[in-house]
């Protein structure tokens, strides 16, 4: 284990070599210094000698902040971090009892793979739902769908669909998009049903 701090700085780094060429490293998160009273938070990374991040997590001590923590507090917090075998493949992952992550005991690769499958499944369900909706609208006499992304300046972007019996004009589409409060009028596509 190595702990180093730069002279006249609160930048402290921690490094612990684990087996199989894996390194656990920790630094004080920048937010600790950016926001007055922000609790001591460490950014913790697992990495291997070969390229590729094995995961990032955060560990917090709410009893300390940027102006009250010491190097010993930092080291004590970093020393608590443990790893455990990934519940999916057995590779190195963060021990969920010692550091908070949203990985549920999975390594970064397994978490990413599961997330990809979940996203693909949701996208497939959304495509099927839209195809069924298109079919119903075509049966009701509609011939075109306009799918547009609405970009309000003060809220999250969202998608809308409008159906038309004839090909809508560009001006009509722009007006609908403006009526939704979008700051961008040209993020749409026209689909013939």
Tokens of 10: 């609160």
pLDDT in tens, the chain (193 residues): 455 544 435 667 888 888 777 888 889 999 998 898 999 999 888 888 655 578 888 889 999 988 889 888 888 888 888 888 888 888 888 888 888 788 888 888 889 899 999 999 999 999 999 999 999 999 999 999 999 999 998 889 999 999 999 999 999 999 999 999 999 989 999 999 9
Residues 162, 168, 170, 176: what is their CA dihedral angle, to the nearest 10 degrees? -30
Same-domain check for residues 55 and 95: yes
Kindly state whether residue 181 falls inside one of the protein's structural domains: yes
Q: Output the pLDDT for position 8.
A: 38
Is 69 in the same domain as 148?
A: no
Whether this model's pTM surpasses 0.85: no
Same domain, 94 and 167: no
30 sits in the region (left: phi over 0; alpha: psi -120 to 50; else beta) called alpha
Domain count for the chain:
2
CA–CA gap between residue 132 and residue 126 (Å, rounded): 10
Full domain range(s) for residue 128: 122-192
pLDDT (0 to 100) of residue 179: 95
- What is the β-pairing status of strands 92-94 and 158-164? unpaired
Q: How far is CA 144 from CA 38, 132, 170, 172, in A?
A: 53, 14, 13, 13
pLDDT value at position 6? 43
**Inter-residue contact 25 to 14 (CB < 8 Å):** yes
- Cβ(20)–Cβ(28) under 8 Å? no
- Note whether 15 and 62 are same-domain residues: yes
> Is 115 within the bounds of a domain?
no
Categorise residue 188: left if φ over 0, alpha if ψ from -120 to 50, beta otherwise. Answer: beta
Question: How far apart, in whole angstroms, are the C-alpha atoms of residue 77 and residue 40?
Answer: 9
Q: Compute the distance between CA of residue 78 and CA of residue 59 in angstroms, rounded to an integer.
A: 8
Q: Which residue has the tokens 């998009």?
A: 177
In a domain, 36, yes or no: yes
If asked whether residues 85 and 144 sit together in one domain, one would say no
């Amino acid at each position: 284990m190595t702990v180093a701090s730069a002279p006249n700085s609160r930048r402290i780094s921690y490094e612990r070599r684990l087996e199989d060429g894996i390194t656990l490293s920790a630094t004080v998160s920048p937010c600790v210094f950016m926001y007055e009273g922000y609790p001591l938070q460490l950014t913790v990374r697992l990495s291997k000698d070969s390229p590729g991040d094995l995961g990032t997590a955060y560990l917090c001590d709410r009893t300390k902040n940027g102006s009250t923590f010491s190097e010993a507090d930092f080291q004590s917090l970093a020393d608590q971090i443990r790893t455990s075998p990934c519940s999916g493949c057995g590779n190195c992952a963060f021990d969920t009892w010692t550091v908070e992550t949203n990985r549920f005991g999975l390594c970064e690769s397994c978490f990413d793979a599961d997330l990809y499958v979940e996203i693909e499944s949701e996208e497939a369900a959304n495509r099927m739902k839209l195809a069924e909706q298109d079919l119903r609208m075509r049966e009701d006499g509609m011939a075109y769908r306009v799918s547009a992304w609405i970009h309000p300046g003060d809220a999250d972007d969202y998608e809308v669909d409008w159906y038309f019996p004839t090909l809508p004009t560009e001006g009509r589409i722009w007006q609908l998009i403006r009526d939704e409060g979008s700051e961008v009028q040209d993020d749409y596509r026209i689909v013939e049903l």
